[in-house]
Amino acid sequence: MLGHPADRARAAFLSRFGAEATCVGIAPGRVELLGNHTDYNNGLVLAAAIDRLTAVAGRPAGGREAWLYSEPFDDLYGFPIDAPGPEPTGSWGRYVRGVCLAMADRLGPIRSGFEAAVAGDVPLEAGLSSSASLEAAVALFLLGAGLLGQEQEEAAVEVDDRMALAHTLRKAENQYVGVASGLLDQFCALFGKTDHALMLDCASFTFERLPLGEPAPAIVVCDSRTSRKLADGMYNRRREECDRIVSYFREHPPASSRSDPYRPPPPVESLRDVTLEDLNAYRERLDPVGFRRARHVLTENDRVRQGVEALRRGDVVELGRLMSASHASSRDDFENSSKALDVLIESAEAAPGFLGGKLSGAGWAGCTVNLVRADRAEEFAAAVVRDYSRRTGAEARAYVCRAADGASCIRGAEAPGASSTVRSCGRDGS
């Protein structure tokens, strides 16, 4: 759809509720450059927020009910804000309600009911974390509208600690929606920076912003438009397979943890506590499927480290090579690719300007993310769509993106992007 998502959300709010919105929360989608399925294994991730956004425009409404209209779904969703939890359905509204509950757990009860409208241009069910984008936009709206805390200004300041907010939004998805996600998606939605990648250490929650270069390469997202309906179940299964390897090493501490014979080895809490040398040494004792899953995670952590070093020296060609190696590992060891995703990567490899590419997000369907020379991005996108159609008979879509800033909120009716009106809502959002 045409138009900035914030403008569309405001227009939808006016049309549906007959009043002007007083606050708009805006948050980006994200792509994962390296670090596929490493976040919940306490690993390393290299990612970027992208300039595809979700906007939530609304205002306090009194009473104790919330009503939200979704432009993408043309659906009105309402719920009592004091009820104990979301209903177990597939409704998009579960994410909104989960955020309300998690934010209230952290900051105290929501002060009143509210009305809001949602609009966006993050492709849905494509592995670009439209759900975390929605969650972050809802959170920024709640804070900016003064619906949490004692006073509006005090409530807005609460989001200064963006990492705490990321954990709160993760709780909303884990506890109230029922998706066992890691922290990556919410982190990217809050911490993104234009033309920068984000490295997150999911064990220590330290991070680094890394310039993508000058000029920065384009990030081209290619959407297979295949269904992700089975992805959540497969995602949870992969978590269980990784956890089984962790359980084995917890009971049989690896050699690398027993360097001091006079001290007990530190406990193995995650795959981050296992080395690739340990894994290979124990290969014959491990379930072969679990071995491959763990090998992917451990080698992927190494690729993130190498990717960070490549960006520090401005080598986007090496970053692209590492992305392609990541896809091969996801395909062969983690087995979370698909025929459609593999064809998209093969089509990309033959397209002009390609530096590297891989599946994005959980996998099994959805999108690939490609690093492309900026001056060839449009040509690249057209070539991939054309070749994919020739090979499969299906229609893919391509989106030329750039790394973007994290979530923000706008008060009043000002235009999106106006420097005097867009609040960074936190020192870490700069």
Between CA 179 and CA 238 the distance in angstroms is 13
DSSP string, 21-45: -SEEEEEEEEEEEE-TT-GGGT-EE
Between CA 206 and CA 202 the distance in angstroms is 8
- Indicate the burial class of 259 (C-beta count within 10 angstroms; 0-12, 13-18, 19 or more): exposed
Q: How many CB atoms lie within 10 A of CB 2?
A: 6
Single out the catalytic residue among 39, 121, 185, 278.
185
CB 9, CB 151: distance < 8 Å = no
Closest residue by Cα to residue 187 from 424, 423, 29, 401 = 29
Closest residue by Cα to residue 57 from 8, 24, 89 = 24
CB 96, CB 133: distance < 8 Å = no
The pair of structure tokens assigned to 88 is 């177990």
Between CA 117 and CA 119 the distance in angstroms is 7
Contacts with 395 (C-beta within 8 Å, 6 or more apart), sequence order: 225, 385, 389
- Indicate the burial class of 419 (C-beta count within 10 angstroms; 0-12, 13-18, 19 or more): exposed
- Indicate the burial class of 101 (C-beta count within 10 angstroms; 0-12, 13-18, 19 or more): buried
Residue indicated by tokens 């399925």: 37
185 catalytically annotated: yes
Using H for helix, E for strand and C for coil, what is the string for 276-329? Answer: HHHHHHCHHHCCHHHHHHHHHHHHHHHHHHHHHHHHHCCCHHHHHHHHHHHHHH
Active site residues per annotation: 185
